[in-house]
Amino acid sequence: MDTRWLSPEQLAAWIRLTAVLELLPAALDSQLRRDAQLTHFDYYVLAMLSEAPDRTLRMTTLAGYTTATLARLSHVVQRLEGRGLLERFPCPQDRRATNARLTEAGWQKIRESAPGHLTAVRDNVIDALTPEQVTQLGEITDAILHRLDPDGARAALYQRYDPPRS
């Protein structure tokens, strides 16, 4: 098999994407740790629960939404539960399953944390781009997501935020 080496332009783009993938999570994590005493993943778990009906999801669904293994999610949920930000309980429809629900303290934490997180997202990504580049970023990430998720199994996770089509 012949190796299809990257052109200089492709290599430069790839290296920049790799740098963003390394630097951006650390920047978001740093802001949340400093301002909200949460990791970026903690925030994401709380945010997914905050958007769910009754602020409740099955642990397996929450794992899917956060792309976490059940083991990693269970560890994080246990820590957040210890802080009183969420609670776990048997699923009423299937006692073998466990649900996670955002507590009132968790709801308050996500509401207090969201403005600072949004500012960090704007400062580090959105405001660095022109409106046209934001559109291009959406198109670029969509093309990559179609390669990473060719059958669309995870599409509902990222397409639910798409603006309505006219």
Given a contact cutoff of 8 angstroms between Cβ atoms, the answer to whether 24 and 125 are in contact is yes
Give 65-123 pLDDT, tens digit per residue. 998 999 999 999 999 999 999 999 999 888 889 999 999 999 999 999 999 999 999 99
And the tokens for 69?
Answer: 């293994």
Mean pLDDT along residues 35-39:
97
Q: Which domains does the chain have, with CATH numbers?
A: 27-114 (1.10.10.10)
pTM listed for this prediction: 0.88
Residue type, 17: L
Instruction: Give dist(CA 66, CA 2) in Å, integer.
Output: 37
Give 112-165 pLDDT, tens digit per residue. 999 999 999 999 999 999 999 999 999 999 999 999 999 988 887 778 888 887
> DSSP label at 7?
P
And the tokens for 123?
Answer: 């400062």
pLDDT at 166 over 80: no
Instruction: Give dist(CA 49, CA 36) in Å, integer.
Output: 17
And the tokens for 32?
Answer: 């949340």
At residue 19, the pLDDT reads 96
In which residue are the tokens 């580090």 written? 124
At residue 157, the pLDDT reads 79
pLDDT at 43 over 90: yes
Q: In terms of DSSP bridges, do strands 86-90 and 56-58 run parallel, antiparallel, or are they unpaired?
A: unpaired
